[in-house]
Amino acid sequence: MEIGFEIVEVGSVVNEPYEGGGKLSMHMHAVPLAETAAERGSVRPMVRFRNIRKSFGELEVLKGVDLDILPGEKVAVIGPSGSGKTTLGRLLMTLEEPTSGTIEVDGEYLWHMEKRGKLVRADEKHLHRMRSKIGMVFQHFNLFPHMTILRNVTEAPIRVLRMRRNEAERLALEMLDKVGLADKRDNYPSQLSGGEKQRVAIARALVMKPQVMIFDEVTSALDPELVGEVLAVIKEIAADGKMTMLLITHEMEFARDVADRVIFIADGRIVEQGPPSRIFTQPESERLQSFLGRFRAYRAGR
């Protein structure tokens, strides 16, 4: 397989067993691609962005995005910084409201609801119900500093899902074990490295069992030597196959390994998309070519 850039240190770190053990399996392309499924019209998308626009004051950040993500599909979003990738994820997590357009999750409108046959703005109750299908891992972890690691993971299941404490703790320890951090259960976030914090944040999101998970540049706040352990954990989750994933990333090797489809966003629009094997080897648009070119130059210079 020919790839448009060198695989350097990150790739080699990823392929080593990470702390906490567990084998890494290569992710398979188990799910048909969006275009082909849409042609067949058989599978209902898990997430559907329709003509989504988002402005902050005068600045239009998303200029009409259409995107269908199939159940279990792993979609990587790449693009220059400031192009609107984070905003896209935040709209899906209900952290921002779209200026226009609709988002559907699992066949239901996210930001709208039907009332007497008309589509109206969703209320908090509707958003609350829809949010239970969606999870997010943030660039800056956002762990709760006043809670132990275990409480960080159990708090939402106990309060939000009304799970019994011992049940929540059992589940939380299972998840913490999955990310290799069960032994840190009684520590506070400030006692953990960045990579460990991000793995806890992943466990905290996983324990809520969302159908769709958003990962927003989850390694870009980490020291380079800690990136691998976090990507390894995400790869392992992806390999389970069931979860629909929106992976906003600038780790190209990771996108290539994990994603079924890569979306290239520039200037608030989807410029190009396709399977990673094509996107990274035969980019069609000039924008993507120059983006990957700059990326290659950057990696070579490091």
Partner 1 sequence: MNELIPALLRGLWITVQATFGAFALACALGLILAILRRARIKWVSVPMVWLIEFIRTTPLVVQAVFMWMALPRLIGMPLSALTVGILSLGLHYSAYLSEVYRSGIEGVPRGQWEAAVALNFSPAQKWLRIILPQAIPPVLPVMGNYLIVMFKEVPVLMAITLGEMLLAANSYIASTFADGIVPYSLVALFFLAVSYPSSLLVRLMERRLNRQRGTQYGNRIRNRRSRIRGERTV
Ligand X SMILES: Nc1ncnc2c1ncn2[C@@H]1O[C@H](COP(=O)(O)OP(=O)(O)O)[C@@H](O)[C@H]1O
Residues in contact with partner 1 by CB under 8 A are: 93-95, 124, 128, 131-132, 134-136, 138, 140-146, 155-156, 159-160, 187-188, 190-191, 204-205, 208
- CA dist 302 and 300 (Å) reads 5
- In the complex, minimum distance from the CB of residue 88 to ligand X, in angstroms, rounded to a whole number: 7
Alpha-carbon distances, residue 12 vs 8, 147, 228, 231, 232 (angstroms): 7, 34, 8, 12, 11
By CB under 6 A, is residue 202 in contact with ligand X?
no
The residue among 111 and 138 lying less far from Mg ion, judged by its C-beta, is: 138
Q: Which residues of 196-208 are buried (b: 16+ CB within 10 A; e: fewer)?
A: bbbbbbbbbbbbb
By CB under 6 A, is residue 84 in contact with ligand X?
yes
- In the complex, minimum distance from the CB of residue 280 to Mg ion, in angstroms, rounded to a whole number: 20
By CB under 5 A, is residue 86 in contact with Mg ion?
yes
- In the complex, minimum distance from the CB of residue 36 to partner 1, in angstroms, rounded to a whole number: 32
User: Which of 82, 224, 241, 293 forms a contact with ligand X (CB under 6 A)?
Assistant: 82
**Number of other residues whose CB lies within 10 A of the CB of residue 41:** 7
**Cα 169 from chain centroid?**
25
By CB under 5 A, is residue 219 in contact with Mg ion?
no
Element (H, E) at 217: none
Name which of residues 10 to 29 contact ligand X (CB under 6 A): none
Residue 126 interface partner, choices ligand X, Mg ion, partner 1, none, CB cut-off 5-8 Å depending on type: none
Residue 234 contacts by C-beta under 8 Å, 6 or more apart in sequence?
202, 215, 218, 247, 254, 258
- CA dist 30 and 10 (Å) reads 25
Q: How far apart are the first and last CA of the chain?
A: 24
Residue 143 interface partner, choices Mg ion, partner 1, ligand X, none, CB cut-off 5-8 Å depending on type: partner 1
Residue 131 interface partner, choices Mg ion, partner 1, ligand X, none, CB cut-off 5-8 Å depending on type: partner 1
Q: Which residues bind Mg ion (CB under 5 A)?
A: 86
Q: Which residues bind ligand X (CB under 6 A)?
A: 56, 59, 61, 79, 81-87
